Chain A
């Protein structure tokens, strides 16, 4: 339906826009500007100097490596695991809300409250150490990376399962009936009905996981404090540290790189998503 232009709509947007302009847009543009100048109070244009310095810094490379590694490992894992559980629940336990209620819980339990638990599992003299007969504090070792991934999966898989379940509920059951008449196997049903029709949901799950992954600093903060083991030193830590040392130029350049990275991934996913939708 075509609605006629009305300025009332703009009035509804205005309050949020003013705030967003002041607290998000303006800082963002300032950040962009800083990344090309010599200092906060020195407006000399230095082209890509800041960027080159950031890209050459070892700390940034470490942070970038860890962050990319984190995304490459967690994203496929979390999508596959949550889809698996969603299919399981909706195939065999239709109408069972108890499991869904339990699946929401990890999102609700703050990581701060899990820290004691994690400490006993992986910390100094923890269960893992006892089992492997070693004195290592796994939270402060290269294994911290694995712990961080486990924690991320623990926290956010459940919510994704629920998103997927509500996506599956919307699929017309007649598709499955027809498939069954044609003698399709469970796997074929999944391959040709469930998965393609769930793509919009997958896209949503991806976006949510992405937003949640920005908060990985929180999880890392609880298990490792402000200066965690280098295996979980993420881009967020790099930015945080440059911020504390007041090197706004480097910070801004790194911010812009991070932002462009996210946008590139997002755009790619969006374009793939669009093309598939059109092909349908």
Chain B
């Protein structure tokens, strides 16, 4: 009896989840098909005065918008490059710092450790706007205003990665580390050969989150960066695209691709065990 009752529930559940998935995939598919719409059709369907609806299948498939995006939109390509230039170093350095500090917090004891960790957590929970003015003055003093280094530096030291890594490394058994020390490995060797390979979940989580964070950076950029030439794409997207602007759909698609790639690379780790630990427990 009970077994039979279960089937309709499962079907209902599938229907609900398929519906939700459709809602999630809707915008992606829409952007994709519309990226092949010709520029003149963009005006016909999505022009300012037009009554709009989702025009799923373009009347004629053209590469108009791609040509526009790749050949005539210097600003878009330039900003894309700026975004890569700011995202890659910030992710790499954040990862290195998190590995080091995570190891320090999770596997060492030293005076004021808990106080220090709580400080990191508190700063992690501080919105950027709280410190934007003094940061601005600071960057002004050291001459990094309107320089992409400013948005890289602020994100490198954002403590979220460290907090995640600390929790992730705490799950590595102490015996493993003791054993490697007995084998004669020094602290740095232990970190590289024992701790790093065992902290994959944490590494992937930090990589994933810091990439997305930096790729879509807005609030720091609009404060520290003045010139369009140094502005990352996340901000320029708002200025460059509009419904009937040629190339917009292609811009939107291209902007999704890097985070999507990271997501596919990290896939299994993200899905299996992001971080299950308690963030505030030292």
Contact = CB atoms under 8 A, between A and B. Distances in A.
A3 B216 contact: no
Given A13-B104, A19-B97, A108-B256, A31 B134 contact: yes
Contacts of B130: 28, 31, 239, 255-256, 258-259
Contacts of A193: none
**Looking at chain A, what size class is its interface with the partner chain?**
35 or more
A263 B100 CA distance: 27
Interface string A116-160: 110110011111001000000000000000000000001000100
A222 interface: yes
Contact of A218 (B97, B219, B274, B279): B219
Nearest to B27: A117
Given A92-B10, A102-B21, A34 B134 contact: yes
The A interface, classified by DSSP as helix, strand, loop or mixed, is helix
A86 to B, nearest CB: 12
Most chain A CB within a 10 A radius of its CB, from B104, B105, B123, B270 = B104
B218 interface: yes
Interface string B122-137: 1111111111111111
Nearest to A158: B24
Interface residues of B, number: 103
A236 B133 contact: no
Contact of B97 (A16, A119, A221): A16
Contact of B216 (A30, A218, A235, A270): A218
B88 to A, nearest CB: 17
Interface string B4-27: 000001100110110011011111
A11 B104 contact: yes
A38 interface: no
30 contacts: A3-B108, A8-B104, A9-B105, A9-B107, A10-B110, A13-B100, A13-B110, A22-B138, A27-B134, A34-B134, A93-B13, A102-B24, A108-B212, A112-B233, A113-B27, A114-B252, A115-B238, A116-B241, A116-B249, A117-B31, A123-B52, A127-B54, A130-B52, A204-B277, A214-B127, A221-B219, A239-B129, A255-B131, A258-B129, A259-B130
